[in-house]
Amino acid sequence: MASKRPKKKAIAKKTKAAKKKQFQQFLKIPIGLLILLVLVILAGFLTHHLLSKRYPVKTVGSNFEKSQHDMPTFQYEVYPEKDIPLPKEKKPPKTTPQEKTPRIALIVDDIGYDRAVVKKFLSLNLPITFSILPKSPFTKSIVKDARKKHVEFMLHQPMEPFEFPQVNPGPGTLLANMTPDELVQQLIQNLEEIPFVSGVNNHMGSKMTANSSQMRQVFSVLKQRKLFFVDSRTTEKTICRPSAGLLQIPFGERDVFIDHFQDSDFIKKQLYELVRIATTHGDAIGIAHPYTKTYQVLKSVLPDLKQKVRFVPVSEVVRVSG
């Protein structure tokens, strides 16, 4: 009987050890789950931190206006530091007696992002020209409303400025490093987005408009589609006039930027400068932007301007140069 007791003790020890081992293994499950949970939480925290990190965006200039519709803030133009002098051969004098009243063609650039301010300009009942940016969210609805007012439409074609890439002209830009096929394809795609398009002018483009070979590619497309071109003249190095003349494209160029300073007195002064140039040369082209202040100043001086000049679509003042 005495020899059986050690066996019972040994069995008890084994049973106790097995239970302890089983308990330890059981503990590993919640500990493992707890570690996994901590890792998931930590990964989620790190992901949120990285995704929510804000990187500074560089902008140039201060001519911005926030829309009533929370439109994205973007830069309307890169203006030359000093105004570019008008070319000596600017325009021939009027020759027809019917055109004794000087003519003004007013282009409103950067259309397509703010329907509210467009309606304000339309309420003026002027034959102005809207130049629409490609990829704009409200192109079709704006064109539908504006056609009722006999407004003319242009493509406001983004082109590479010297400040690129620090300054990005936006979607649909023509870049200096594009192949001829890429450039033509992008231009055609942009043109086909604008219903009833009559012509094109450049958005930024100080570098592109100084490149004769690339501008000739642009003008070859316009020639095929019977469209005119207006040079916004963002650089004194522009070669658009001779290039357009070579391909016999109806051509015009900006005489006055109306509102690159958002100051009422300045805008008024620029409008009367446009009148002065039109009086001297027979007609003049002004470029404005969809600012509420520009609309307000134009509305306030419009009765007086109409006594001095006649507003016309820009297609009436472009011409083929020899």
Position 7 scores a pLDDT of 57
Q: Residue 134 domain-assigned?
A: yes
> What is the secondary structure of 116-179 as a DSSP string?
HHHHHHHTT----EEEEPTT-TTHHHHHHHHHTTT-EEEEEEEE--TTTTTS---TT-B-TT--
260 and 124 within one domain: yes
Confidence class of residue 40 from pLDDT cuts 50, 70 and 90?
Answer: low
Percent of the chain with pLDDT over 70: 70
**DSSP annotation of 94:** P
Confidence class of residue 63 from pLDDT cuts 50, 70 and 90?
Answer: very low
117 and 49 within one domain: no
The CATH number of the domain holding residue 164 is 3.20.20.370
Burial class (CB in 10 A: 0-12, 13-18, 19+), 7: exposed
Position 161 scores a pLDDT of 96
Q: Residue 94 domain-assigned?
A: no
Confidence class of residue 321 from pLDDT cuts 50, 70 and 90?
Answer: confident
39 and 183 within one domain: no
pLDDT above 50 for 220: yes
Question: Do residues 172 and 134 make contact, with C-beta atoms less than 8 angstroms apart?
Answer: yes
Q: Residue 7 domain-assigned?
A: no
Number of domains observed in the structure of the chain = 2
Give the C-alpha separation, 134 to 156, whole Å.
7
Q: Residue 190 domain-assigned?
A: yes
Reading the block at residue 215, the tokens are 């501008």
pLDDT above 60 for 29: yes
Give the C-alpha separation, 278 to 284, whole Å.
5
What radius of gyration, in Å, describes the C-alpha atoms of the chain? 33
Mean pLDDT over 159-178 rounds to 95
Position 35 scores a pLDDT of 75
Position 167 scores a pLDDT of 93
181 and 293 within one domain: yes
Position 51 scores a pLDDT of 37
Q: Residue 200 domain-assigned?
A: yes
Which residues lie closer than 8 Å to 198 by C-beta, 6 or more apart?
129, 152, 153, 154, 227, 228, 313, 315
Position 16 scores a pLDDT of 61
Specify the range with the lowest mean pLDDT, choosing from 16-20, 71-75, 306-310.
71-75
154 and 286 within one domain: yes
Reading the block at residue 195, the tokens are 């219903």
135 and 199 within one domain: yes
Confidence class of residue 82 from pLDDT cuts 50, 70 and 90?
Answer: low
Domain that holds residue 194: 100-316
Which residues lie closer than 8 Å to 302 by C-beta, 6 or more apart?
124, 126
Reading the block at residue 114, the tokens are 């703010």
Position 95 scores a pLDDT of 45
Q: Residue 257 in 3-state DSSP?
A: strand
Specify the range with the lowest mean pLDDT, choosing from 77-81, 101-105, 169-173, 198-202.
77-81
296 and 242 within one domain: yes
239 and 150 within one domain: yes
Q: Residue 289 domain-assigned?
A: yes
Across 135-290, the runs of DSSP E, i.e. the strands, are 152-159, 197-204, 228-231, 251-253, 256-257, 283-288
238 and 129 within one domain: yes
Confidence class of residue 151 from pLDDT cuts 50, 70 and 90?
Answer: very high
Q: Residue 73 in 3-state DSSP?
A: coil
More confident residue, 32 or 172: 172
122 and 263 within one domain: yes
113 and 49 within one domain: no
φ/ψ of residue 199, rounded to 5: -165, -170
Position 22 scores a pLDDT of 63
Question: Do residues 151 and 128 make contact, with C-beta atoms less than 8 angstroms apart?
Answer: yes
Percent of the chain with pLDDT over 90: 68
Q: Residue 15 domain-assigned?
A: no
* pTM given for the model: 0.74
- Alpha carbon distances (Å) from 185 to 23, 139, 174, 189, 217: 72, 20, 10, 6, 11
Position 34 scores a pLDDT of 72
Q: Residue 216 domain-assigned?
A: yes
Mean pLDDT taken over the chain = 83
> What is the secondary structure of 12-44 as a DSSP string?
HHHHHHHHHHHHHHHHHHHHHHHHHHHHHHHHH
